[in-house]
Structure 1
Amino acid sequence: MKFNSRESFFKGLQADQGQPLVIAGPCSAESEEQVMQTAEALKQQHVHLFRAGIWKPRTRPGSFEGVGTKGLAWLARVKQELGLKVSTEVATAKHVEEALKHGIDVLWIGARTTVNPFAVQEIADALQGVNVPVLVKNPVNPDLALWIGALERIYRAGVTNLAAIHRGFSSYQKSKYRNVPLWQIPIELKAQYQDLPVIVDPSHIGGSRDLLFPISQKALDLGYDGVMIETHPRPDEALSDATQQVTPARLAEVLGQLQVRKTNYDDAELENRSEQLRLQIDAADHDIIAALARRMALVEQIGEYKKLNNVQVLQLERWKEIFRTRADWAEDAGVNAAFVEELYKLIHVESIRKQTQILDGV
């Protein structure tokens, strides 16, 4: 896939590429008054794209599912009277048709739609011959291939003005986040498609207005291109996702606190010192891989002993001991224990694979 350049994407939204793209607006368009009140406040903050959900895919029936097509006229009014570009979520070909009919500038595909290739293809078919910018949120589950697949389907419809939105992933584990960020997944997406703008949605990742700033700042520190933040004139009265929305005034405070880092060093001496440290990191990585190779050779020897003695691969008590002691060793060494726990989960999976191959004679 060869996307339009970042410069082109930002230019289309009248944004300075040196600053983060700002997309803001209510989770749901609830009334014409609410939409206009929010948009007027955001216009003063030079928001690049006004967002509002018209159709809301809710987890359970009976909750507010959006005002439907009539809300598109409210977005058209925002565009006409305030000069703001407007955006909404589409989940069907009919949504696309109605949105384009009302002059919606940018469409986005939500996480619940991205997870369904049939739904994405239906949207792609409806976009044939219409090069409107499209934002694609990550799927609900942590599946990079599914995310890329959704982008590919839209791209093959002739839409080259694409961007990805990182809104976090569902997890069964208890977390301070509504949707855990799993930063490594969007980072891998950025590595594969360097021209693809990536925007963070801290509202859905955090699920709490208190987490908007730290999530947004971390995303910018990782080189993200912008933020999408849900904004409501009276957040506590919002008909959907009240806890993660902020007033326009609070949005201004969050945006004012954000720092945009430089992409490179300005000073040649600092660059030289940094390169020296990188060389040391390379050497340390070489040592780590050599140590892993030694460990896996020992694992294979244990696998041979288990095969000779007809012993099962998984020794649960031994695994519990490793999991506990390595975290303790990490803390003693000043290394994040949670990181080491995750690392050893991967090492254990590979150890099980190797020993299983030996026992099965593969």
Structure 2
Amino acid sequence: MMVLMSVDATQQQIDDVIELIKQHNLKALHLPGDEHVAIGIASAIPPELREPLALALQALPGVDHVVHISRPYKLASREFWRTDTVVQIGEVKIGGNAPCVVMAGPCSVESREQIFAAAQAVKAAGAKILRGGAYKPRTSPYSFQGLGLEGLKLLKEVSNQLGILTVSEVMSPEDVEKVAEHVDILQIGARNMQNYALLVAVGRSGRPTLLKRGIAATIDEFLLAAEYLLHHGTKDVILCERGIHPLDRTYTRYTLDLTAVPVIKHLSHLPVIVDPSHGTGAARYVPAMARAAIAAGADGLLIEVHPDPKHALSDGAQSLTPEQFSALMKELERVAMAVGRCL
């Protein structure tokens, strides 16, 4: 539910609305706008209370009208917040009319030499954020699981020395604080999109968060996962489309659902980026899907780049070389310009 105040509503009238909401043990959010002030109710309202509460709020001085939010997710809904959310980390902005942001780097942090080489290459090509996994969820227990804390320390070191932001995955609630100490953006991977204990812990951290769509998740389920983060305190949520379960795995790893970009932007105010590396699983298809993602309206990209993909410890087949990435960035600049954006 949202209460839209009159243009000339006083601060006392706004406070009275908030107080009435709180009297019913509900959470009130003050949402200032260009002309009107709105107060959102960011709680589940018992069915028997909805109509009486709406009538009581409508009767208060200064209230223009009361709107019922139809979506199961509230804080993530564009019905609740009509203006595009812009996530700002340092000097980098993601979402709204900000330039499209590219996050790039290896699937896993493997060594100091490897992560520094990758960081230097992607930054030189124009990437603003370095990606790199310190903890890796792998299908096989025998596959490389990441360097853990050592990998996090290397990300912190390369960030400090090169002046580049970092994003890395957190896999358990117990690791949230540790990962947050070393990187700028916490990533929740596709396999953990509905790990509710993790969503709550990351939400309570208040740190900028990159949330990946699960491989079998509907868009509503994706946005409800984002709702957990927003409800528990994280305001800076970036959504990432990274491919859904395919009908045919002969040629690609997943099916990259680019229709999700305009659909989510219609339903939600949160920024949306696309991961064409996981979405295809093959380096040869990454450039085409990256260009298509920008044309579809994505606010950014998450691309795997490795100094030596053939010897990568994870996901080498979908990783671009630094030379391929540099060439792609030039192509993306032209695509972005063609659709009224910049890179």
TM-score (norm 1): 0.66
Q: Is the contact made by 2:256 and 2:276 (CA closer than 8 Å) also made in structure 1?
A: no
Larger gyration radius, structure 1 or structure 2: 1
The number of aligned residues is 258
AA aligned to 1:253 is A
Q: 1-side partners of 2:187 and 2:82: how far apart?
A: 17
Moved more, 40-49 or 130-139: 40-49
User: C-alpha displacement at 1:12, in angstroms?
Assistant: 4.2
More helix by share: 1
Find out whether 1:38 has 2:113 as its counterpart. no
Q: Deviations over 1:315-339 (max 9, x none)?
A: xxxxxxxxxxxxxxxxxxxxxxxxx
Q: How does 1:207-356 map to 2 (within 5 A)?
A: 207-258=281-332, 259-261=335-337
User: What secondary structure does 2:328 align onto?
Assistant: helix
Q: 2-side partners of 1:76 and 1:6: how far apart?
A: 30
Q: Which has the higher contact order (CA 8 A, sep 6+)?
A: 2
Residue in 1 that maps onto 2:200: 124
Find out whether 1:56 has 2:136 as its counterpart. yes
User: What secondary structure does 1:260 align onto?
Assistant: helix
More strand by share: 2
AA aligned to 2:103 is I
User: C-alpha displacement at 1:172, in angstroms?
Assistant: 4.1
Is there any run of 5+ residues in structure 2 with no aligned partner, and where? 1-74
- Distance change in 2, residues 1:136/1:13 (3 Å): farther
Q: 1-side partners of 2:93 and 2:131: how far apart?
A: 16
User: What secondary structure does 1:44 align onto?
Assistant: helix
Percent identity between the two aligned chains: 31
Q: Is the contact made by 2:295 and 2:339 (CA closer than 8 Å) also made in structure 1?
A: no
Q: Is the contact made by 1:49 and 1:86 (CA closer than 8 Å) also made in structure 2?
A: yes
AA aligned to 2:87 is F
User: C-alpha displacement at 1:14, in angstroms?
Assistant: 2.2
User: C-alpha displacement at 1:51, in angstroms?
Assistant: 0.7
User: C-alpha displacement at 1:208, in angstroms?
Assistant: 0.9
- Distance change in 2, residues 1:65/1:257 (3 Å): same
Residue in 1 that maps onto 2:228: 153
Q: Deviations over 1:79-130 (max 9, x none)?
A: 111111111011211221111223x10011100001x3xx2333423541x3
User: What secondary structure does 2:86 align onto?
Assistant: helix
Q: Deviations over 1:277-299 (max 9, x none)?
A: xxxxxxxxxxxxxxxxxxxxxxx
Q: 1-side partners of 2:137 and 2:270: how far apart?
A: 26
Q: Is the contact made by 1:121 and 1:154 (CA closer than 8 Å) also made in structure 2?
A: no
Residue in 1 that maps onto 2:192: 113
Residue in 2 that maps onto 1:348: none
What is the root-mean-square deviation in Å for CA atoms of aligned residues? 2.2
- Distance change in 2, residues 1:125/1:57 (3 Å): same
Residue in 2 that maps onto 1:97: 177
